[in-house]
Amino acid sequence: MPAPTSHTEAQKFFDQIAEDYRIRSEGQVYNVSSLSFSRRQDIVTGLLNHTPQGGTVLDYGMGPAVFGPAAARRGCCYIGVDISQKMIDLAQTMNIPNAEYHLGDLAVLEKFKGVADTVLLIGLIDYLEDPAEGLRALARAVKPGGRMILSFRNRRSLPRILRDTCKAAWRAAKRESHESGTAFAAPVLERSFVPQRDFVPVLREEGFQDFEVRYLDCSPVFWKMPLPRPLWRLWKKADEIFSRPFLSMFCASGALMASAKK
């Protein structure tokens, strides 16, 4: 039997974490992981407001339609794509107006060329086997003058180095795959990126310009350490203050928005 591909492992992983993902997206837990999740939601939702009223948002790797409500508030058509049926099932329970959902991977995008005012790729490019291929496929779903918004792990950061070192030690100690509710222990890819090197050249070739990068996760802590609610809020405010480009070496993650030429 052939070894499982990263795609197969990612599908299993996202099926497994679907409920936890939903709980974090709804702000029902207070820990370091949910804090990062909340900061990313705030940043992406703010960037999503560039979508014209009544436009189309294509959310690739949508999870439980985390950004569906924000799209609906702008009167947008929301197209969600995910490889996890459990994520789609959770999304459908939200009854988001003018929304449709598709189970599948990059091949699904063939039917959506040039239809989206905004394409979202949030929390997923880290897991793609060929990130450049994924970017190109998603870029072709964007209308002229539209936007792509993606999140990424920051390769040039101290938290990334610490996480990768700890993860390598964990796997060496275990010497086998384990079912896990965290990407840290699961056998999935966790790539990290330098936006100007890894994203901008590919997107320029696809006709994009005006790149904007925001950072988050200005902290060396990456596990699900629980936090009292007041400390959680204080920590989040500190992250808003300190997550700046000149401090990006301390920021584990970021989000990039690229605009397509009209």
Q: pLDDT per residue over 22-34, tens digit each?
A: 777 777 788 888 8
Rounded to the nearest 10 degrees, the angle between the axes of helix 6-25 and helix 85-92 is 30
What is the pTM assigned to this prediction?
A: 0.87
Q: Which CATH number fits domain 6-260: 3.40.50.11540, 3.40.50.150, 1.20.1110.10, 3.30.70.2190?
A: 3.40.50.150
pLDDT reported for residue 138: 97
pLDDT reported for residue 1: 31
**What is the C-alpha separation between 134 and 130, in angstroms, rounded?**
6
pLDDT reported for residue 8: 65
pLDDT lower than 70: segments of the chain: 1-10, 15, 18, 167, 170-171, 174-189, 220-223
Residue ranges of the domains in the chain? 6-260
pLDDT reported for residue 99: 98
Would you say 256 and 198 are in contact if contact means Cβ atoms under 8 Å apart? no
pLDDT reported for residue 165: 76
Handedness of CA 19, 24, 25, 28 (dihedral sign): positive
pLDDT reported for residue 174: 66
pLDDT reported for residue 170: 65
